[in-house]
Amino acid sequence: MKTVEHLDGIGALASRYDVFLLDQFGVLHDGTSPYPGAVEALSALKRAHKTVVLISNSGKRAEPNEHRLLKLGFEAGSWDHFVSSGEVAWRSFHDMVAHGSLRPGTKCLLISRDDDRSAIEGLPFEPAKSGDDAELVLISASEGDRYDLDHYRRLLTPAAARRVPCFCTNPDKIMLTAVGPRFGAGRLADLYESLGGGVTRIGKPYLPIFTAALALAGDPDRSTVVCVGDSVEHDIAGGLGAGVATALVLSGILADTTDLAGLFDGLDAYPDYTIDLFRFR
């Protein structure tokens, strides 16, 4: 088994790496408030002249994610770029329409939170009323804190039965909510497949989102890059697949996990480092 080094904070990483690919949920904040020391740590990385790219399995586009960070108290300019799976997907859909592989007026069934439509704003889609008339399914988020899986099963079954193409722009299977961890959009993608449909997943751990993030960072030497996240399945496995160092923060979905070694073994994904909290010291 690989030796995993435990660090007190990211300050030690700042002396070893020049480019930081940072997750947001579970690392910088819990969706409601920043983790202790996270605001200061992110600003400290920029003061140390590091390139910081936030890379998130958020089904929303980059701009609304950045606005939320500012509202949570993170300092403007404390990151260089924001890459979300929703942004990657939006640009992909835009290109598909431009090249004729996706028809303008396509009826899209959007699964999101709080009726958020930002994932498809500016695209020539028409909203589908249900799975019965959908020509495309886009799973950008889950409301697993409001609905159970049976709710989504009823919604998705008609589309899956007709083999309607489905895209999932948030592969996370667990999400943090005000009432604790709940099933995420990735779990809904699994459900769609179990109902007979096919799913294209966009986001971590899949390589395209890392390729996009590294391109924005200037395509650096991979030995100078570290990916920091709270998910072994998405951040650590994805970072390893992209050929960069990885650091697992234990403040997010793994906060109550007692057998990290077993988790690493089970996923065959071992981080280079673990950190209790995203703080600089």
How far is 75 from 69, CA to CA, in rounded Å? 8
CA atoms within 13 A on the CB side of 43: 10
- What pTM, to 2 d.p., does this model score? 0.85
For each of the domains in the chain, give its residue range(s) and CATH number, in order of start: 5-85+204-275 (3.40.50.1000), 103-201 (3.40.50.1000)
What is the per-residue pLDDT for 174? 86
Find, among 74, 26, 71, the residue nearest to 46 by Cα.
74
Cβ neighbours around 261 below 10 Å, total: 10
Phi, psi of 112, rounded to the nearest 5 degrees: -140, -175
Return the C-alpha torsion angle 77, 8, 215, 271, nearest 10: -160
User: What is the Cα–Cα distance from 107 to 127, expressed in whole angstroms?
Assistant: 5
Per-residue pLDDT of the chain (281 residues; tens, 9 = 90+): 688 999 999 999 999 999 999 999 999 998 889 999 999 999 999 999 999 999 999 888 899 999 999 999 999 999 999 999 999 999 999 999 999 999 999 999 999 998 888 889 999 999 998 999 999 999 999 999 999 999 999 999 999 999 999 999 988 888 878 788 899 999 999 999 999 999 999 999 999 999 999 999 999 999 999 999 999 999 999 999 999 999 999 987 777 777 888 899 999 999 999 999 999 98
Residue 161, φ and ψ in degrees, nearest 5: -65, -30
Closest CA relative to residue 254, chosen from 268, 279, 227, 235:
235
pLDDT score, position 1: 61
Q: What is the pLDDT of residue 155?
A: 96
Q: How many CB atoms lie within 10 A of CB 255?
A: 14
Residues 252, 250: Cα–Cα separation, whole Å: 6
| Residue 267 buriedness (CB in 10 A; 0-12 / 13-18 / 19+) | middle
138 forms beta bridges with 110, 167
Residue 191 and residue 213 in contact, taking contact as beta carbons nearer than 8 Å = no
Q: Give me the pLDDT at residue 239, please.
A: 97
Q: Which two tokens stand for residue 179?
A: 């009432």
